Amino acid sequence: MVVGLAVVLLCQLVGEIFAYTTHLPVPAPVVGLVLLFGFFLVRDRWEWLPFSLRSEEIDKTCETLVQQMALLFVPAGVGIVQRLGILEANVVGVLAIIVVTTAFSIAVTAYTFRLVSRWFPAPTESEE
Amino acid sequence: MNASEGLWSHLTGGALFWLTLTLVVYTIVDRLSLLARRNPLANPVLHSVWVIGTILVVSGTPYETYFDGAYFIHFLLGPATVALALPLYENRRVVLRSLVPIVAALAVGSAATIGSVIVCAAIFDLPAMITISSLPKSATSGVAMGISQSVGGDASLTAIIVVATGIAGAVMATPLLNFLRITDRRARGFALGLAAHGVGTARAFQVHPLTGTFAGVGMSLNGLLTAVLVPLAASLIGG
């Protein structure tokens, strides 16, 4: 748990440093994701890494975080109690943004994915 | 003031109570969602938010007091985004084989999302602050709040709209995608992750690991592209 959390936080920290020093509009956690991906690539190829960095714990920590991701949105969502006034005054427009643009976004993305994957079929596809 | 009132105000003024309440409410709601066989309407985030929100309003507790406790959970949003590297790594071959549709759907989906927010805001004549704060609505909370701040939006308002978007996406995805007759799990997952970030990704993992992985890919790539596109869109509508 500890080594897993340390590695994940370290990736995010380096991401933060990267975003701050380069002034690029990249979110630190996304840079951290790329770094952790690179770490997994390296780990499974090179045997010389210290034992603690090769432990399964890192995978288990990541698994837990991903599995419980929905919970992590609750505190920000409860923030709605703070903005009830402005939301109530614009309730129809805000609901339209939340429902209509999200439905549009899902539909457009899924259609584009399907259309393009028909033009460029994956080499060996198991559709299941 | 009697003893029980004293105890109540002692507890509700501290972080321990609200952190515990968040975990307990979520655990119960998540259990009920499982009993409802993960029906999209039984979305655990949706029901946790209104239950806890009602408790705050009824008890007259300021959000700041609540957040002091809930911050420990909120903080993990960043690490959880980083941790998406694991399913991505485990499925890297499948993802790599779908690289062309991924890139195409990302570009079209991300731009369409931001564009549709601008159109929708114009139709309903929304205040500029709401429009600006809604632009990064499909990026994951931690990412979207940062983007919103950098373009002069209201980060708290962004967080609410982002979470509401995630819930809406997670609730409607299954019936909507069935209606559109999209059966490819990769397309379903990717669209859900792109449009409804982590809440959508959590929903996608409930359905199938492959759907979840593609949702994770959609979520992280869209976090990246939204960070690039929103400042452009904001300068267009602002200037």
pLDDT tens-place string over residues B172-189: 999 999 999 999 999 999
Chain B residues with beta carbon closer than 8 angstroms to that of A128: 185, 210
Q: Which residue of A has its CA nearest to B113?
A: A105
B96-110: burial string, b at 16+ Cβ within 10 Å, e else: ebbeebbebbbebbb
Rounded mean pLDDT, B69-82 = 92
- Per-residue confidence at B84, pLDDT binned at 50, 70, 90? confident
Backbone angles phi, psi at B173, to 5 degrees: -55, -50
Q: And the tokens for B78?
A: 């960043």
Chain B residues with beta carbon closer than 8 angstroms to that of A69: 80, 198-199, 201-202
Same structural domain for residues B132 and B223? yes
Question: Would you say residue A19 has pLDDT above 80?
Answer: yes
State residue B143's pLDDT score: 83
Which of A63, A83, A101 is opposite residue B113, by nearest beta carbon? Answer: A101
Same structural domain for residues B14 and B56? yes
Last residue of a domain, one of B75, B103, B128: B75
Same structural domain for residues B100 and B211? yes
State residue A124's pLDDT score: 57
Question: Would you say residue B63 has pLDDT above 50?
Answer: yes
Average pLDDT, chain B: 91
Residue spans of the domains in chain A: they are: 1-67, 78-128
Q: Look up the domain containing B17 and give its range.
A: 1-75
The answer to whether B140 and A71 have CB atoms below 8 angstroms apart is no
Same structural domain for residues B41 and B87? no
Subunit contact B101:A105, Cβ cutoff 8 A: no
Question: Would you say residue B106 has pLDDT above 80?
Answer: yes
Same structural domain for residues B136 and B49? no
Same structural domain for residues B86 and B63? no
State residue A128's pLDDT score: 44
Same structural domain for residues B89 and B19? no
Chain B residues with beta carbon closer than 8 angstroms to that of A32: 78, 81-82, 85
Rounded mean pLDDT, B30-58 = 93
Same structural domain for residues B209 and B221? yes
Judging by beta carbons within 10 Å of its beta carbon (0-12, 13-18, 19+), is residue A1 exposed, middle or buried? exposed
Same structural domain for residues B36 and B140? no
Q: What is the pLDDT of residues A65-117, one digit of tens each?
A: 988 888 999 999 999 999 999 999 999 999 999 999 999 999 999 999 999 99
User: What's the CA gap between B239 and B181, in Å, rounded?
Assistant: 41
Rounded mean pLDDT, B165-170 = 95
Chain B residues with beta carbon closer than 8 angstroms to that of A57: none
Q: Of A21-25, A53-57, B86-90, where does the model show the most confidence? A: B86-90
More confident residue, A51 or B81: B81
Same structural domain for residues B109 and B57? no
State residue B142's pLDDT score: 78
Complex prediction ipTM: 0.88
User: What's the CA gap between B113 and B135, in Å, rounded?
Assistant: 8
Same structural domain for residues B111 and B221? yes
Q: How many CB atoms lie within 10 A of CB B36?
A: 12
Q: Which residues, at least 6 apart from B118, have a Cβ–Cβ distance to it below 8 Å?
A: B131, B135, B233, B237
Last residue of a domain, one of B56, B75, B94: B75
Q: How far is CA A75 from the centre of its chain?
A: 18
Instruction: Select from A22, A33, A119 the residue whose CB has the most chain B CBs within 10 Å, as the one to mutate to test that interface.
Output: A33
Same structural domain for residues B66 and B117? no
Our count of domains for chain B comes to: 2
- Per-residue confidence at A122, pLDDT binned at 50, 70, 90? low
What percentage of chain B exceeds 70 in pLDDT?
Answer: 99
Rounded mean pLDDT, B132-157 = 89
Q: What is the pLDDT of residues B119-141, one digit of tens each?
A: 999 999 999 999 999 999 999 88
